[in-house]
Amino acid sequence: MGILQNILEQVINGLRSGSIYALIALGYTMVYGIAKMINFAHGDIIMVGAYALYVGITLLHLPIVAAVLFSIAVCTILGVVIERVAYKPLRSAPPLAVLITAIGVSFLLQSLSLLIFGATPIPQASIVTFEGIKIGGVSISGITIVTLIVTTICMIVLTWFIHKTKMGSAMRAVSEDKGAAELMGIDVNKTISLTFAIGSALAAIAGILYVCQYQSLRPTLGAMPGIKAFVAAVLGGIGSVPGAMLGGVILGLIESLSKAYISTELSDAIVFGILVLVLLVKPSGLLGKIRKEKV
């Protein structure tokens, strides 16, 4: 096989993991944009989504479509409930308190799944069964195609939703200025709930794609993708929706190419090194806006 095909395949690998990072990063960035908090439990929602799929298919024997919807519904409800129970009472508390609470929720979710499902990894077959394709010597697996299509659709729908619908406008307004939005008659609580619901639904989709890719479930499976996606969100400019998409894809590409052509041991160092560089040059991230402190 030629070097060119090999590079192309590595780029596709990077795009696939990058698009999953982007999907998760959207959850971080939307919540940050609106609630001004880093939801560190977001990575564990992915884990819940993955386990919910397993419960739906293997334990409840649901058809695939129903199991996918079940997984998304579980995560959406969970996201809204977490916001209501854990974050809403702290809305006027110092940011540090909210951050610690988010970390607490993250551990709670991990420990719960450890108690329920145990620490031994559970095998779960992929729900994507069709064969990959081969174009000009470059083979692309079925799951890669599905991942790229699903993530692209999610991003298009989300962009349309934010810019073309009333609810989307409300979200943008709350993110711009919560007080003013409230004065204009926007239901801030409802908007924040909606944001958590959308972010968690996207995390569920990421969890499902994750299971299809790796076919194994662990209570800590959300931790690493969660951290990477958080980096992607910061890289792209936290609070910015296109920034999260761009950040995710860039992160995936850098990771894959540096693993392939520089060093597997150094790839994480390179990823985080680039983050540091970008933040030094442009502290608000690639597409982030600099917020002026109002007096």
Residue 224 touching other proteins (CB under 8 A): yes
The distance of closest approach from Cβ of residue 260 to other proteins in the complex, given in angstroms and rounded to an integer, is 5
Q: Tokens 């145990």 identify what position?
A: 118
Residues in contact with other proteins, shown as a per-residue x/- string from 116 to 155 under the rule CB under 8 A: --xxxx-xxxx-----x-x----x-xxxx-----------
| 88-117 footprint of other proteins as x/- string (CB under 8 A) | ------------------------------
Which of helix, strand or coil describes residue 135?
A: strand
**Which residue, among 166, 145, 157, 197, has the nearest Cα to 30 in the 3D structure?**
197
Binding-site member from 32, 206, 259, 285 for other proteins (CB under 8 A): 259
In order, the DSSP letters of 63-118 are -HHHHHHHHHHHHHHHHHHHIIIIIGGGTTS-HHHHHHHHHHHHHHHHHHHHHHH-
> With CB under 8 A as the contact rule, which of the stretches 13-21, 30-38, 98-106, 161-169 interacts with other proteins?
13-21
Q: CB of 95: closest distance to other proteins in angstroms? A: 31
DSSP letter string, 256-271: HHHHHHT-TTTHHHHH
Please report how close the Cβ of residue 279 comes to other proteins at its closest, in angstroms. Answer: 24
- Label the pairing between strands 216-217 and 122-123: antiparallel
- d(CA 69, CA 121) in angstroms, rounded, equals 23
Give the separation between CA 264 and CA 144, rounded to whole angstroms. 21
Asked if 10 interacts with other proteins (CB under 8 A), we say yes
State which of residues 117, 161, 214, 272 lies at the interface with other proteins (CB under 8 A). 214
Q: Are 241 and 162 in contact (CB under 8 A)?
A: yes
Min CB(22)–other proteins separation in Å: 16
Q: Which residues are at the interface with other proteins (CB under 8 A)?
A: 1, 3, 5-6, 9-10, 13, 16-17, 118-121, 123-126, 132, 134, 139, 141-144, 213-216, 218, 224, 256, 259-260, 264-265
